[in-house]
Structure 1
Amino acid sequence: MKNKVAIIGVGTQGSMIAFRNAVYGKEVTAYSRNLSSRERCAERIERFLEFYVQTGRLMQAEADQARARITYASTLEEACKDAYMVIENIPEILERKQEMFCRLAEICDDDVLLSSNTSSLLMSEICKDISPAHRAHTFQVDHDDPVRNSYVEMMWNSATSEETKAAALDHYHTIGFEPIITEREIKGYSINRVWRAVKKECLKLWANGYITPSEFDRGWMSEWHTDIGPFKLMDLIGLDTILNIEYSYFNASGDESDRPPEAFESFVKDGNLGMKTGNGFYSGYDTQGGNLTVGKMNKGDA
């Protein structure tokens, strides 16, 4: 039975995706050239497992089995060997993703499912230089929080075969997701485009001093009955990733209204990346293992 999944890129989201697949019985190989990145991934996964045990979602024996299903690789060849699905999770930069998929096409057989965890880029652009045989097995996916919930948005492109659609849906169903499908390719998916509109307006409100992140999140959670607000969610995603996504929209449209606020760009350049660095719109995140608790109000958020 095909059961091995390769995770390419093991930052915050990559660690979560590796964890989710392992918990649901997949054999996972997590790839990064950087030893420290692989070690941080292992630390995050350990914290995720502790969270699942503490909240009763896993028995300790099940957590131990999930941990044993995860291995780490320092080369793409090692990571992709015998994998039936490859999930790319590198930064949201088109040229880097294009280079990665050209390499994956050289390494993987034609029938391997190739997916990109991307919020704003299009698979047709990412894979424009790989063969039609490989493109037929491509799709893209946008994870929200693979540790906490079961929401995932998937999108087909014009090359995606019916066989690939069925196999991709089967995979995500077997790891506990109920996918939301965008049938035709559009920048940012469907639901995520609406999230992007919210995010864009939130950043402008914050940058111009109209409201603090904690106050906005408090109102949002009260109005929409959620346990997290937009600013906290951006912290968990990574503010550098958010900045890259915003520039992706701006570069595509050339519309100044799509340019991310200068204050936000400076905020990110100063090292405020959210959970991954311990500080973002909120502070107090545990960077050693990817603390799943909410951060404290940022000292500048008052």
Structure 2
Amino acid sequence: MSSRRICGSLNIQRSLATRSNTITRPLTPSLSHSLVLSHPQTRRASTSAQQQQWTPPDTSSRPIAILGGGVLGRRIAASWVAAGYSVILCDLNEQQRNAATHYIEHAMKDYSKLTGDQRERASFTTVEAMEDAVRNAWLVVEALPEKLPLKIEIMGQLDRLAPKDCILASNSSSYRSRFMLDKVAESSRHRVCNTHYYMPPGNNTVELMTCGSTHSDILSFLKSKLEDAGMTPAVARKESTGFIFNRLWAAIKREALLIMAEGVSEPKEIDMLFQIMFKDNPVGPCGMMDAVGLDTVAFIEDNYVQERGVDATARDWLRKNFVEKGKLGAKSGKGGLYPPGETTRSSKGESGHHDNLAAPRLYFLDIGIGGNVFDLQKAVTAGKIMTASADGSNVRELVGGQAMPDGIDVSISSNSIFWTNMGASPSKNNGSVMAASLDGTSIKSIIPEGRIHTPKQIKIDHDNKKLYICDREGLRVHRCDFDGGNHEIIVQTGDSGNAADGEDQTKWCVGIAVDAQAGKFYWSQKGPSKGGKGRIFRANMQTPSGETASSRSDIELLFDHLPEPIDLEFEPESQTLYWTDRGEYPLGNTLNKAYVGSVGAKEDVKVETLARHFHEAIGLKIDAVNQHIYLTDLGGTVYRFDMDGGGKRKIYQTDSAYSGIALAHLH
């Protein structure tokens, strides 16, 4: 089997482990252990490895290879890149590679602190094929799912593909690297070991452990390199399932689960006691398990149950009540031991072991009007794309010089940011739709000036790789491919060349949302400013046969007499539409929602106002993973709410004016 196929199967299994209720159990460790120990070559390897000479590899001109671009893989890569070591990351999944690249781009400031901000950042590249990553590596770190048969296969391939002096390390937190030697030649086993990272940069510890045959000089060599990279290594004196800290943590975790399984206590009470007794650790065991992922916790418990004969009650209770119901913790959007959003605090004042692990990266638009002064000439070139952490920290400009940007959305899979520019003058047909790479480079126009009038909100249909754009004074809804191809008009509310139509604000299309699963899209027509004539419509993605954008018969009017509806968001699980409204008080400048699934009579649909008192509410985005709503307004504020509108927080505020907002999960 090729390395590409192995990496692919690992990515597929990682995805299935997250989404499926059926969990595949790993190969029984005790069986693998007995096979390894019974092999005469393995019994001789430990002695011969200590007797042979070992020459350290050249680390000055050769890269480190990381296999797997997930949560830990990209963090391992970032720690070495920041310390000046070249890194190549291998993952078959393009979205994982893009997210890892973007994560490292934004996280360098934090990782550079590990070495005192005194190192030049080294090169970082991503590849799809494993042979390309390891061809000249001096160290390979396998950071793939906890599936023993796959790790055995990968180690065998590394033995054949990597240079003969390359150190082969597994980041496994539960399997000894001894169990991975079945396909590794006896002559190579001295260079295999465990290097178990925790969660840099916040937790910069790394535990090193022999495979039973590892040359002793290799562990001391890696220890010195890790220290040079600003990490804190610890070397296990002998093989130990669970290493050092995880053996301590395993007992705490298991007892916490048993306490809950037996009905003795609940998560909040357990964590309260833990935090009082261990006051320097702001996160308790239940919060830590939620952040790691309860499916991962269950996989690791499999190993303890099978190898040590530990009672399986807690593991089985966890699978039945949480994992099989898709409640995997912070990453699932359904919560876990805690409700959704509880583990990821997204707060500058609440740092801890796994805080912000599932928090998104924010992208929001500064339209170029600052200090409450409307300077149209300045606004022509003063628009910006800003990016920030979910708590409002680490804010920086990603793209500048834009002509009044209004809508934005992000595609990790295509490594792209898409946004709209209204143009220098709303009265002229000079808007555009733009695209750039996630790092703000490779800026290009995909719908140029002259082909779209005043584009507002833009929304990605990720399933079909399409862009939907509302065109205000153009009186249209547009759709196109990511590169601007197959550009079409799917709704036409009037003739923009006709003065009467163009000035009729009830025909102005502003906000857009997509329900790809149901084949529907939604849009708002805002009406006059604060006029109480706003409307929200819905239609099928597929225009009825023989009909045109201006004559289609499938358009449904869902809501009318709204103050001034602007941006839209559709939440598929609850079949709920959310929108911002710029109308006057008491009804306007609000965040609203309404159920739109199986809508019957219009009067039966209830509109609920979740929050109010904004300064011209515009941008809107839902974080389904953490069950949060983000909102921006022209008063220069970025807000975050719970899904019911509670927990209102201003996470970032300036004297600028903000329009659209988007987010991406890079962690």
Band of TM-score, shorter chain? 0.7 to 0.9
Q: Distance between the aligned counterparts of 1:17 and 1:56, measured in 2?
A: 13
Which residue does the alignment assign to 1:213?
Answer: 267
Alpha-carbon spacing, 1:263–1:270, altered in 2? closer, same or farther (3 Å)? same
Q: Distance between the aligned counterparts of 1:227 and 1:292, measured in 2?
A: 19
1:240 aligned to 272, 289, 295, which one? Answer: 295
Alpha-carbon spacing, 1:183–1:269, altered in 2? closer, same or farther (3 Å)? same
RMSD between aligned residues: 3.1
Structure label with greater radius of gyration: 2
Q: Indicate the larger mover: 241-250 or 198-207.
A: 198-207
The answer on 1:146 being equivalent to 2:205 is no
Which residue does the alignment assign to 1:20?
Answer: 79
The answer on 1:9 being equivalent to 2:63 is no
User: Is the Cα contact below 8 Å between 1:52 and 1:58 reproduced in 2?
Assistant: no
1:129 aligned to 175, 179, 183, which one? Answer: 183
User: Is the Cα contact below 8 Å between 1:250 and 1:259 reproduced in 2?
Assistant: no
The answer on 1:40 being equivalent to 2:99 is yes
Q: Distance between the aligned counterparts of 1:34 and 1:96, measured in 2?
A: 17
Q: Distance between the aligned counterparts of 2:331 and 2:105, measured in 1?
A: 16
Q: Distance between the aligned counterparts of 2:114 and 2:177, measured in 1?
A: 38
Q: Which has the higher contact order (CA 8 A, sep 6+)?
A: 1
Q: CA deviation at 1:75?
A: 0.7
Q: CA deviation at 1:272?
A: 2.9
The answer on 1:201 being equivalent to 2:255 is yes
What residue ranges of structure 2 are gaps of 5+ in the alignment? 1-57, 345-357, 363-388, 392-625, 628-641, 644-667
Letter in structure 1 aligned against 2:224: D
The share of aligned pairs that are identical, in percent, is: 27
Deviations along 1:194-239, one digit per CA (max 9) or x if unpaired, are: 2111111112223344333343223222211213222222233332
Q: CA deviation at 1:73?
A: 1.0
The answer on 1:164 being equivalent to 2:206 is no
Q: Distance between the aligned counterparts of 2:262 and 2:104, measured in 1?
A: 37
Q: Distance between the aligned counterparts of 1:7 and 1:208, measured in 2?
A: 41
Letter in structure 2 aligned against 1:28: V
The answer on 1:87 being equivalent to 2:141 is yes
User: Is the Cα contact below 8 Å between 1:155 and 1:184 reproduced in 2?
Assistant: yes
Q: Distance between the aligned counterparts of 1:106 and 1:81, measured in 2?
A: 10
1:29 aligned to 81, 88, 113, which one? Answer: 88
Q: Distance between the aligned counterparts of 2:74 and 2:325, measured in 1?
A: 24
2:231 aligned to 154, 159, 177, which one? Answer: 177
User: Is the Cα contact below 8 Å between 2:131 and 2:161 reproduced in 1?
Assistant: yes
Which residue does the alignment assign to 1:190?
Answer: 244
State the aligned residue count.
292
Letter in structure 2 aligned against 1:13: L
Deviations along 1:14-73, one digit per CA (max 9) or x if unpaired, are: 1211111111111111111111222232344345346569x99987x97xx64x622111
Letter in structure 2 aligned against 1:222: I
Alpha-carbon spacing, 1:275–1:70, altered in 2? closer, same or farther (3 Å)? farther
User: Is the Cα contact below 8 Å between 2:81 and 2:124 reproduced in 1?
Assistant: yes
Alpha-carbon spacing, 1:52–1:152, altered in 2? closer, same or farther (3 Å)? closer
2:336 aligned to 280, 284, 294, which one? Answer: 280
Alpha-carbon spacing, 1:158–1:261, altered in 2? closer, same or farther (3 Å)? closer
Q: Distance between the aligned counterparts of 2:261 and 2:361, measured in 1?
A: 30
Q: Distance between the aligned counterparts of 1:94 and 1:208, measured in 2?
A: 31
Q: CA deviation at 1:260?
A: 4.1
Which residue does the alignment assign to 2:527?
Answer: none
Q: CA deviation at 1:113?
A: 0.6
The structure with the greater share of residues assigned to helix is 1
Deviations along 1:80-132, one digit per CA (max 9) or x if unpaired, are: 12211010011112111111111111111221011111111111111232012
Structure 2 counterpart SS, 1:163:
helix
Q: Distance between the aligned counterparts of 2:102 and 2:246, measured in 1?
A: 29
Structure 1 counterpart SS, 2:199:
coil
Q: Distance between the aligned counterparts of 2:215 and 2:308, measured in 1?
A: 29
TM-score by length of 1: 0.84
Structure 2 counterpart SS, 1:139:
strand
1:119 aligned to 163, 166, 173, which one? Answer: 173
Letter in structure 1 aligned against 2:287: K
Q: Distance between the aligned counterparts of 1:241 and 1:122, measured in 2?
A: 17
Structure 2 counterpart SS, 1:179:
strand
Structure 2 counterpart SS, 1:219:
helix
The structure with the greater share of residues assigned to strand is 2
Which residue does the alignment assign to 2:555?
Answer: none
Which residue does the alignment assign to 2:163?
Answer: 109
Which residue does the alignment assign to 2:631?
Answer: none
Structure 2 counterpart SS, 1:136:
helix
Structure 2 counterpart SS, 1:86:
strand
TM-score by length of 2: 0.40
User: Is the Cα contact below 8 Å between 2:114 and 2:231 reproduced in 1?
Assistant: no
Q: Indicate the larger mover: 44-53 or 229-238.
A: 44-53
Structure 2 counterpart SS, 1:233:
helix
Q: CA deviation at 1:271?
A: 2.7
The answer on 1:228 being equivalent to 2:287 is no
User: Is the Cα contact below 8 Å between 1:247 and 1:260 reproduced in 2?
Assistant: no
